[in-house]
């Protein structure tokens, strides 16, 4: 008889979990990063990671923290994780990951988590594993803590435009500023400055030995359409591939045609589709 069960993972499960994420290491970079930095210790996770085991082999997993993220989930695994998520109640502010798995999770939750603030489907997941196709902007560089006061307002503007809510809402400004400082300290924040103004910026959100995921790409609205994002991203690709990880990835909204064009000109190609549900 086949034994099929879901368990909360811990430190002793780390190696097997990393073997699972390595089946699709670029798509799974966020959960790979979280596992390596927390070692799946609940004290540092700020949540849990669930593993599905069939005859003692881990076949799928689900990160359940601020983000609920399915890992290598077929329809059956996503269904089982959704039923558990419905029982324990919503712990996450975002459900995000490969579109098919997110669609199954969302269907099976069947309203148990309440009404979302927004649903974003068919988000192209792009990656590049070689040199940028466009000429890198030589003015793009890693930021320093001396840049923070100029950089921070651009980060707030990007986040507010992208998510629809200010990162400073509810008194969260100090936490968000600390996050930007953390990225600067890691060498994961990049920008071009012109006359004391940020004209392009991007950050690495997470990284593993296999890949880095870029977020927070921003050009001020009055400067868009001038190639700053194309050449800025080409520079980020070169910097990240040299200093952080061999493959650079990101995902974006399907309606953001300007950004999609800039990324493709820089050399990114689509490798998957994501979906995001925000509460």
Buried b (16+ CB within 10 A) or exposed e, 208-221: bebbbbbbbbbbee
How far is 189 from 197, CA to CA, in rounded Å? Answer: 15
Summarised one tens digit per residue, pLDDT across range 36-91 is 999 999 889 999 999 999 999 999 999 999 999 999 999 999 999 999 999 999 99
Q: Spell out the residues 6+ positions from residue 35 whose beta carbon is closer than 8 angstroms to its own.
A: 14, 17, 18, 21, 49
- pLDDT for 1 equals 55
Copy the structure tokens of residue 246. Answer: 């061999």
Task: Compute, in degrees rounded to 10, the torsion defined by CA atoms 119, 122, 123, 125.
Answer: 150
- The list of the chain residues with pLDDT below 50 reads none
- pLDDT for 4 equals 84
- pLDDT for 65 equals 96
How far is 44 from 167, CA to CA, in rounded Å? Answer: 22
- What's the predicted TM-score (pTM) here? 0.94
- pLDDT for 148 equals 97
- Which domains occur in the chain, in start order? 4-115 (3.40.630.30), 128-273 (3.40.630.30)
């Amino acid at each position: 008889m086949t034994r099929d069960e879901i368990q909360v993972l811990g430190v002793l499960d780390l190696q097997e979990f990393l073997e699972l994420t390595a089946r699709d290491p670029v798509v799974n970079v966020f959960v790979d990063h979280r596992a390596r930095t927390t070692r799946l210790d609940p004290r540092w996770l700020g949540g849990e990671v669930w593993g599905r085991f069939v005859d003692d082999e881990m076949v799928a997993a689900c990160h359940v923290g601020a983000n609920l993220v399915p890992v290598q989930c077929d329809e059956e695994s996503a269904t089982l994780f959704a039923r558990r998520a419905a029982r324990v109640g919503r712990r996450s502010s975002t459900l995000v990951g490969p579109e098919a798995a997110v669609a199954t999770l969302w269907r099976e939750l069947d309203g148990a988590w309440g009404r979302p603030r927004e649903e974003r489907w068919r988000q192209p997941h792009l990656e590049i594993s070689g040199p940028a196709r466009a000429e890198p902007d030589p003015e793009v560089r890693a930021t320093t803590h001396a840049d923070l006061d100029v950089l921070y307002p651009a980060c707030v503007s990007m986040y507010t435009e992208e998510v629809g809510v200010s990162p400073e809402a509810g008194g969260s400004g100090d936490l968000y500023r600390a996050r930007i400082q953390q990225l600067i300290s890691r060498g994961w924040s990049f920008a071009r400055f012109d006359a004391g103004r940020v004209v392009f910026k991007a950050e690495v959100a997470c990284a593993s030995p296999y890949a880095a995921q870029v977020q927070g790409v921003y050009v001020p609205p009055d400067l868009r359409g001038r190639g700053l994002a194309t050449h800025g991203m080409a520079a980020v690709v070169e910097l990240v591939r040299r200093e952080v990880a061999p493959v650079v990835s990101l995902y974006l909204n399907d309606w953001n045609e300007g950004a999609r064009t800039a990324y493709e000109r820089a050399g990114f190609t689509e490798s998957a589709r994501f979906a995001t549900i925000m509460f």
